[in-house]
Structure 1
Amino acid sequence: MGTVEPKRRRGGAHALTLLCTTALLAVTALGGVAQAAPAPEPGVKSLEQVRKEIEGLYRQAGAATDAYNLAESEAKAHSDRIVEIAKQVAAGQERIGSLKNRAGAAARAQYRSGGLPAGARLALSSSPVQFLDGTDRIRRGEKAATDLLSDMNRTQNDLRQYAKDAKAEWEKLEANRIKKEASKKEIEEKIKAAEELENKLEAEEKARLIQLEQEAQYKAQTAWLSTGVLKEVTGSATEAGRKAVQFATQQIGKPYLWGATGPDSFDCSGLTSQAWRAAGRGIPRTSQEQLRLLPKIAVKDMRPGDLIIYFDDASHVGMYVGDGAMVHAPRPGRQITIAGAGSMPIKAVVRPDA
């Protein structure tokens, strides 16, 4: 699928109305929007309550996925730093060895000369010329010895600092491992709970559940469009933005998998980060870091390729593709798809190629 550019005169509302109408027709085919769900028995959850509970569990899993991905990214950075420190330690140890060899050579030379450096013997000479030459050699020898000792002290101090740095990095690495394990456990628990809820439903209820999801998204998108938000959204994609959108839309139909960055599956921020990587720009791995580190822009200024961060906890992200639509990896059990940019609560819009 190619880049979707926003239309200036007809506006994104027309295209998205068509998109949402198509979705609504699909919903109607599943059972009809006008058909009311039967009232639940007292004490029994309605299907809408189940839908919201499942949605909440997946959102919590999404937030935990962001925490897992961030911990993994930080762990890699700490591992890389430990490798760099190891190289510095090796270089420092080699330097110490070289300095010790130089000091040993000087000591051996002095021993062979009877304990007096050549400069000292000249300084004791009765010849004025030899005396002056000797004192100059003494001064130079003293400076060389001082420099040698200073160099050894600096290198030894560096090695002590490297040891402290390595210890700190190992502690951070272990803390990140614990964070990752905790996040992984939470992700698995939330997904399992959501799947158990969904698996209890009959086939007709599952179909109705999908219908309710689509209706909720359609309602949110319609409300967003009704504000006239797209009237001012006329920005065109940059070359990098077009490449990012092209990559993201080429993944449509691939499954969501938490922690995945392709090529066969993605989570929400895995899709957006890899899309911009394909466009030649590295951006943060997680939706929360994308929000924190990328420049924020007004919704009216967004253009294809910009990232839309959703929910107060920034637990979800999609890529704007134009005409009021975005592409995203929704949640476990769903595939990468096109959806209305306003089908979820927007927290912010950020620009990778500001």
Structure 2
Amino acid sequence: MSGRLLRLACTAVCALSSLAFTVPPEPAAPADGDDRTVIALLTDLQRLYREAEQASETYNATEEQLKRQRAEVRRLDTELARARTSLHDSRAAAGRLARQQYQSTSDLSPYLRLLLASDARRALDQGHVIGQVARERAATVDRLTGGERKAGSLAREARKALDTQLALARKQREQRDKVTGRLDEVERLLASLTAEQLTELSAREERETEKSQKTFMASGALSSTAKNPTAQGERALRYAVEQLGKPYEWGAEGPDTYDCSGLTSQAWADAGTPIPRTSQEQWARLDHVPLDRLRPGDLVIYFPEATHVALYLGNGKVIQAPRPDTKIKISPIAANPILGAVRPDPGSTPMPTYTPLTLPENAEQGSNEGFNGIF
């Protein structure tokens, strides 16, 4: 199925699922070769996309866990290598100690030497040296014993960490297969729709997006007073604008393709303020901000499960990576049901003056929908 047809059909799916309107009760005509109505087909599509949504969000979260686990494995491997080097040195010292004891020609203790010596001062000096040697020998044995315990403990930790890494990698592969499997089902289902149905769905999406945006802007949820971004927010927006037109790819963090939270997290990382990788973590861990206090660079979170995110551009527009088979674009802020907004740099001061960034002419072309928050 062509990418154009997939875009037309899929964008309509989210339009029908949007909270901003309800589906008319009249059923559409059945698709050729399929006795289900268009509404029934869209219901199936919504279910498949919701299942893909959960797997995709879990995939991104698991990827972050896997990155941290790989770093922990590397740290333990480095520490274990140092411990083994130290243990090797301690064993060499212990070997020298054993040879010295074996080669010793006297079985007399330092105390007997002191009692039998004709020169007490000289015997005391010898006893001091012997005592020092004994302490050094004891320290050598302690280092050897401690080094063996440490190396053994680190080896066990390293094995456990590696097992965890392998388990996470298996889990990630399962999640990847689940997402791709659901998307394959979506494409097969879309292939059952006629060209007329696809055209109808595309037109419906455009009408409903426009209606949702007008309703939202008229509600006064956004402040009528223009606000400036912070220096970091401006850098994040500049990064996002430079990505306009690049393809969406689930699980991607750039530089050639992105998913929605991959774009927002990389934009803010480029601005020098790292934020969580997934939209759900961004919603959970970043400072919430009322919509009437939105400033450019803030993140707008969508859908009850916080499964879609975009960067606020200003004037009721956002920059987003909508979904598979779309490109990064400028969209109306209300193209998807808004959950709320978060601010990555709550302690920073807005710029005293701000000139909005220059945007390409085709920056608003393409689908605006995030497919019921799947990506």
Give the TM-score, by structure 1 length.
0.80
> Where do 1:246-257 residues align within 5 Å?
246-257=238-249
Partners of 1:118 and 1:64 in 2: how far apart? 74
State the shift of 1:330 in Å. Answer: 1.0
Instruction: State whether residues 122 and 130 of structure 1, in contact with CA within 8 Å, keep that contact through their aligned partners in structure 2.
Output: no
1:62-97 CA distance string (max 9 Å, x none)? 332221122122222222222221221111111111
Q: 2:148 corresponds to which residue? A: 156
Partners of 2:138 and 2:293 in 1: how far apart? 64
Partners of 1:116 and 1:217 in 2: how far apart? 97
State the shift of 1:231 in Å. Answer: 2.0
Instruction: State whether residues 66 and 315 of structure 1, in contact with CA within 8 Å, keep that contact through their aligned partners in structure 2.
Output: yes
Q: 1:197 corresponds to which residue? A: 189
What are structure 1's unaligned runs of at least 5 residues?
Answer: 1-26, 28-35
Partners of 2:207 and 2:139 in 1: how far apart? 78
Partners of 2:157 and 2:320 in 1: how far apart? 40
Match of 1:187, as an amino acid?
V
Q: 2:369 corresponds to which residue? A: none
Instruction: State whether residues 282 and 342 of structure 2, in contact with CA within 8 Å, keep that contact through their aligned partners in structure 1.
Output: yes
Please state whether the residue corresponding to 1:256 is helix, strand or coil.
Answer: coil
Q: Which moved more, 1:210-219 or 1:256-265?
A: 210-219
Q: Which moved more, 1:123-132 or 1:249-258?
A: 123-132
Q: 2:62 corresponds to which residue? A: 71
Please state whether the residue corresponding to 1:317 is helix, strand or coil.
Answer: strand
Partners of 1:71 and 1:306 in 2: how far apart? 25
What are structure 2's unaligned runs of at least 5 residues?
Answer: 1-14, 16-23, 347-375
Instruction: State whether residues 219 and 343 of structure 1, in contact with CA within 8 Å, keep that contact through their aligned partners in structure 2.
Output: no
State the shift of 1:186 in Å. Answer: 1.7
Partners of 1:277 and 1:337 in 2: how far apart? 20
Instruction: State whether residues 59 and 315 of structure 1, in contact with CA within 8 Å, keep that contact through their aligned partners in structure 2.
Output: no
Instruction: State whether residues 310 and 348 of structure 1, in contact with CA within 8 Å, keep that contact through their aligned partners in structure 2.
Output: yes
Partners of 1:176 and 1:252 in 2: how far apart? 33
Partners of 2:299 and 2:331 in 1: how far apart? 14
Percent of aligned pairs sharing the same letter: 31
State the shift of 1:346 in Å. Answer: 2.5
State the shift of 1:349 in Å. Answer: 2.0
Partners of 2:328 and 2:211 in 1: how far apart? 21
Q: 2:91 corresponds to which residue? A: 100
Give the TM-score, by structure 2 length.
0.76
Distance 1:101 1:126, change over 3 A: farther
Instruction: State whether residues 233 and 302 of structure 1, in contact with CA within 8 Å, keep that contact through their aligned partners in structure 2.
Output: no
Partners of 1:204 and 1:92 in 2: how far apart? 70
Give the superposed CA RMSD: 2.9
Q: 1:187 corresponds to which residue? A: 179
Partners of 2:204 and 2:47 in 1: how far apart? 15
State the shift of 1:230 in Å. Answer: 0.9
Q: Which moved more, 1:238-247 or 1:53-62?
A: 53-62
Partners of 1:184 and 1:252 in 2: how far apart? 26
